[in-house]
Amino acid sequence: MTRHGKAFGLSQATAYRYLHEAIDVLAGQAPDLHQALQRAVADGLSHLVLDGKIFDSDRCRLTITSVKGETIDEWYSGKTGDFGGNVQALSEPSGLPIWTSDVEPGGIADIQAARTHVLPPLYPYANTLPILADPGYQGAGHGVTVPFKNPTDGNILATGNRTHNALQRSLRCLGEHDFALLTQRWTAPSTPPSAPAESATSSAPPTSSPFSSTAGSTESQRENLNGPAAGQGGGPLNWQALSVLPVRQHRRSARLAHACEVECT
């Protein structure tokens, strides 16, 4: 932000203030959780993927007493070994994010953050819109499918449970691209913009954010993914090629299920 502010003759403080003003405008156009779930049902999605991520932060500190009576910092995440904030997200089966939560301190586990921001509004949709999640969401309740954990007594999971885990993970991995899109593809430019004279002579058409009010339907949001990847100058994504990925994953899952059935017999 210091470089961007300097390019426009702004101080660092003013540049950050403008940044947060723009973020507030964009956040005001984002759908809430109920709207996102209603849209997912209307679009006929087979399921959604629930995931969480710790975003680094060096500005937040809050000393608290843990359940063990120890003094800890609520913003310190044992998951990453650093300070940060926990953000939850719901995404389509393809990985397109449809909703993100407010931030919780990094010391808050995924299941706790989900119980605060996601699960209560989610339960009414559980019968028609199942949710896939990782083992960190054990105990989330009705409608949230997680893998079975390995037994702690040295035994191995039953064949049916291992089949469940293979099928669940093969579908869940496709939807866990949401944070990669948010943090690596849909990012601000890393260099200051060109001078006005240079911009006027450029023939490149303007691009729009997938989160802008002009993005329109979910389908148009998917089309907005066709820009070059962050740090690359390549052409648009080949959605026809990408659409084959879920089919291959489903075929792999079917082979796994068949192998397990053979083993059972």
pLDDT, residue 35, reads 94
186 Cβ neighbours under 8 A, 6+ residues apart: 209, 210, 211
> How large is the greatest C-alpha to C-alpha distance in the chain, in angstroms?
74
Q: 123 pLDDT band (50/70/90 cuts)?
A: very high
Q: 111 pLDDT band (50/70/90 cuts)?
A: very high
Dump pLDDT digits (tens) for 126-171.
889 999 999 999 999 999 999 999 998 989 999 999 999 999 999 9
Q: In degrees rounded to 5, what are phi and psi of residue 158?
A: -65, 160
Percentage of residues of the chain with pLDDT beyond 70: 70
User: Is the entire prediction scored with pTM above 0.85?
Assistant: no
184 Cβ neighbours under 8 A, 6+ residues apart: 229, 230
Dump pLDDT digits (tens) for 26-44.
888 888 999 999 999 999 9
Rounded-to-integer distance, Cα 226 and Cα 185, Å: 10
Instruction: Name the amino acid, one letter, at 210.
Output: P
pLDDT, residue 222, reads 56
Rounded-to-integer distance, Cα 229 and Cα 81, Å: 29
The two three-digit tokens of residue 90, written as one number: 């719901």
Q: Taking the domains of the chain in order of start, what are their residue ranges?
A: 31-188+217-225+237-264
